């Protein structure tokens, strides 16, 4: 028996009846020969980790735009924290860790430079709007692997598409990532806001802190344990009413105090200007994009290809392109003779 089949058999022996089994996957868009070592979900996880879009997450904004300091979260560290929380919950509930990890690692691949600021601009400029979860799916389906996509399984693609609050994941593993995403960013953004002197511990709503905990570690522990205790041996992933309300109330607090109008967003207007002007420039100068995006403009539309190009940029690269296009280059006269 090949190793993959042994792993697939083990899933039936140790996982919950409610877990997604790799052997029962709804499959890939394009059929392909299976790996003799890895299950389909393991293979998806590896494809995501090795793709270019995943590497670019290390230079994309989480909340703080161009922060000074090495300890602020980036989109990549956020992704890794979501994966860690998700795997902890999946293991405790005997659900499929490989599927959970693959979804978590791929859920934010479509995020723009400058975080949600960039997303808001593209949402305004692109016909039909722009949502990062939809773009994440487009990355793995179309944009990666030289336009061939990663050909992931239905379960991973579904989890990526439906990780946002309004989504309805088709697997319990997808539901875990959906909740873990909120757990991760609410708590690590508090941590970063305190580090950036936007908040202090005393600013946090004390009624919520009494319920969830007075430290980063305690709050995550409360939320994770609550999900496990309320979801064990059930065909659903859920929090208790009290913890759910407290978690989302804390999220609302962060929107009011940090995500909208705080010092963390002081560069937001400039970032939006960069994205908007780059979009308009490349729309008018389509052939100045890399060839792969010029080809996309012929296959889809100019604005779709431009949005794909800009969404894939890191913060640093977007700034470099902006300077290259809109700002004069230094001149010292050394090349006139």
**In the 8-state DSSP scheme, what is residue 61?**
B
Which is it for the CA torsion 93, 97, 103, 104, positive or negative?
A: positive
pLDDT given at position 265: 64
Q: Under CATH, which architecture does the 35-326 domain have?
A: Orthogonal Bundle (1.10)
- Mean pLDDT to the nearest integer, 268-286: 96
Q: What pLDDT is recorded for position 67?
A: 65
Residue spans of the domains in the chain: they are 35-326
Give me 93's structure tokens.
Answer: 């509930």
288 token code pair: 């100045």
Task: Give the helix/strand (H/E) hosting 226.
Answer: helix 216-231
For all residues of the chain together, what is the average pLDDT? 94
Tokens 């995943």, located at residue? 54
The per-residue pLDDT for 130 is 98
Structure confidence at residue 68 (pLDDT):
62
Which pLDDT score, from 0 to 100, does residue 77 have? 95
**Computed from CA positions of residues 144, 147, 148, 152, in that sequence, does the dihedral angle turn out positive or negative?**
positive
> pLDDT tens for residues 211-259?
999 999 999 999 999 999 999 999 999 999 999 999 999 999 999 988 8
Residue among 165, 323, 231, 215 nearest 19 (CA): 231
Whether residue 141 is predicted with pLDDT greater than 60 in this model: the reply is: yes
Cα-based distances in Å from 94 to 184, 228, 240, 283:
21, 10, 20, 49
Residue 330, pLDDT score: 72
Q: Read off the pTM.
A: 0.95
What 3-state DSSP class applies to 152?
A: coil
Q: What pLDDT digit, counting tens, does each position of 86-121 carry?
A: 999 999 999 999 999 999 999 999 999 999 899 999
pLDDT of residue 64: 73
Residue 53 backbone phi and psi in degrees, to 5 = -60, -35
Q: Name the band, by pLDDT with cuts 50, 70 and 90, for residue 61.
A: confident
Beta-bridge partners for 61: 74
Which two tokens mark 248? 């989302």
Q: Give me the pLDDT at residue 69, please.
A: 63
User: Hey, what are 290's tokens?
Assistant: 């890399």
CA distance 69 to 8: 44
Backbone angle region of 145, left / alpha / beta, with phi > 0 → left and psi within -120 to 50 → alpha: left
């Amino acid at each position: 028996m090949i190793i993959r089949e042994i792993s697939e058999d083990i899933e039936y022996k140790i996982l919950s009846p409610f877990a997604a089994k790799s052997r029962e996957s709804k499959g890939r868009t394009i059929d392909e020969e299976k790996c003799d070592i890895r299950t389909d979900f393991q293979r998806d996880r590896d494809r995501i980790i090795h793709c270019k879009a995943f590497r670019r997450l290390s230079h994309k904004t989480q909340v703080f735009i161009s922060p000074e300091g090495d300890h602020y979260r980036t989109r990549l560290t956020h992704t890794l924290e979501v994966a860690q929380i998700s795997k902890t919950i999946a293991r405790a509930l005997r659900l499929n860790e490989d599927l959970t990890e693959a979804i978590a690692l791929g859920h934010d691949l479509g995020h723009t430079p400058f975080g949600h600021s960039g997303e808001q601009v593209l949402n305004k400029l692109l016909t039909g709007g722009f949502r990062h979860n939809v773009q994440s799916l487009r990355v793995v389906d179309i944009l990666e692997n030289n336009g061939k996509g990663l050909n992931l399984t239905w379960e991973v693609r579904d989890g990526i598409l439906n990780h946002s609050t309004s989504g309805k994941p088709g697997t319990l593993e997808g539901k875990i990532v959906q909740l873990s995403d909120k757990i991760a960013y609410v708590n690590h953004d508090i941590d970063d806001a305190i580090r950036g002197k936007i908040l202090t511990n005393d600013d946090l709503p004390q009624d919520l802190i009494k319920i969830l905990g007075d430290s980063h570690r305690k709050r995550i522990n409360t939320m994770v344990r609550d999900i496990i205790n309320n979801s064990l041996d059930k065909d659903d992933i859920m929090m208790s009413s009290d913890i759910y309300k407290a978690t989302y109330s804390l999220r609302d607090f962060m929107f009011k105090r940090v995500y909208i109008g705080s010092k963390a967003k002081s560069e937001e207007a400039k970032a939006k200007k960069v994205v908007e002007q780059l979009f308009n420039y490349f729309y008018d100068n389509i052939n100045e994009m890399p060839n792969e995006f010029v080809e996309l403009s012929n296959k889809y539309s100019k604005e779709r290809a431009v949005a794909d190009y800009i969404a894939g940029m890191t913060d640093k690269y977007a700034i470099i392109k902006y300077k290259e296009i809109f700002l004069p280059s230094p001149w010292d006269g050394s090349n006139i003779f």
